[in-house]
Amino acid sequence: MTHLKLDDAFVDDALEFLKLRRQQPTFEYLNVLIDAFIHRIPWESVFRIIKRDATPATADCPRFPQEVWSDAMKFSGGGTCFEINYAFFALLRALGYKGYMTLNDMSEARACHAAIVLLFNGQKYLVDVSVPLPRAFAYYPDSTVHLYTPWLKFTIQPRGENRYEVMRAPHARPYIFTFNDAPISVENFEAAIEADYLSSGWFLNRVVINKMLGETAWLFNSDTRPYMLESFDHDGKHEIPLDPETLAESLAERFQIPAKKSPRRYRWWRR
C-alpha cells in the first residue's frame, strides 16, 4: 500500500486552501496550480526536524502527502523537496494528470533532489515546486530551453542521455540540479522519503525556509551567519538582517508559520 492517493473530499479541502476550484486537467490549469502552491506552501525543514525529534522509530517519520497537506492547511507548513513535490504530485494525480517522480543529483550528491515529470499532449514537462520553478518546464533531448520569469531566468540543458542541467540567473549559485529523466516507482520513492530520516538524511540539523512572497523567493538558512533573509532577482541579491534575539518571531511573521512551530522553541535550533 502506498500513500499517494488522496480522497475526493481531501482534494477539495486542498484546493480550497489554494483558493482554487476543481477543473479538468489542462496545461493552463497546471500552471495555475503551481503558482498557487508555491505561494502558499514553503520548502522548509522545520516540520521534518520536529517530526524526527518526536518520533523514535524512523519508519514512523516520513511525512507523506496527506500529512504534508494537513500541516500546510493547519500551520502553513511545507517540507523538503521529497515531501512537497510528492504532495503536489498526489494532488495532480487526483486531478487526472499523468506522470512520475524522479530522483536527481546536485553536483556530487546523488539521488538527493526530487522532481516531477508530467506527460501532457505528447510532451514531457519538468515540475518542481521546491526550487521552486514558477511553471511547468518543457524540455527536449536535443535543445536547450530558456524560461524567462519576472523573478529569474531558468535554463534546462541536455547533458547526455536522459540527463539535463537546470540553471538559474542572475544568482550567486546558478546551478540548481542535474535532472535525471528516469521514472522511480511509488514504492521506491516512498522508501527514499523514509531513508531521508536516517542520520544520513538531508536538512535534519539546520533550519532552511524558502517561499515565494510576491514575485520573489525569500530564503532563510540557519547555516548563514549573521542571520538574514536572502533573495535573488533580475536586480541582483537582496538581504534583510535578522536579530538573533527575535529570530523566531521574525521568521514566523515573514513565512506565516505559527510561533509554536518556530525554531527557537526547540532544542535542535542550537545544533
> What pLDDT score does 214 carry?
84
pLDDT at 56 over 60: yes
The 8-class DSSP code of residue 244 comes to G
Average pLDDT, the chain: 92
The lowest-confidence range among 35-49, 85-99, 215-229, 247-261 is: 247-261
Q: What is the pLDDT of residues 174-204, one digit of tens each?
A: 999 999 999 999 999 999 999 999 999 999 9
> What pLDDT score does 233 carry?
85
pLDDT at 263 over 70: no
> What pLDDT score does 188 carry?
97
Treating both helix axes as pointing N-terminal to C-terminal, what angle do 186-195 and 81-94 enclose, rounded to 10 degrees? 150
> What pLDDT score does 271 carry?
37
pLDDT at 235 over 90: no
Q: What is the pTM of this model?
A: 0.94
Cα distance between residue 82 and residue 119, in whole Å? 20
Residue 263 CB neighbours (<10 A): 22
Residue 249 exposed, middle or buried by CB count within 10 Å (0-12, 13-18, 19+): middle
Give the residue extent of every domain in the chain.
8-270
Helix (H, G, I), strand (E, B) or coil at 180: strand
Where are any strands of DSSP class E within the chain? 43-44, 98-106, 109-120, 123-127, 137-138, 145-148, 153-158, 163-169, 175-180, 208-213, 216-221, 228-233, 236-241
Contact 123, 113 (CB under 8 A): no
Which CATH fold would you assign to the domain 8-270?
Arylamine N-acetyltransferase fold (3.30.2140)
Q: What is the pLDDT of residues 102-153, one digit of tens each?
A: 999 999 999 999 999 999 999 999 999 999 999 999 999 999 999 998 889 9
> What pLDDT score does 261 carry?
55
CA separation, residue 158 to residues 12, 62, 72, 144 (Å): 38, 33, 35, 7
Q: What is the largest CA-CA distance in the chain?
A: 54
pLDDT at 257 over 90: no
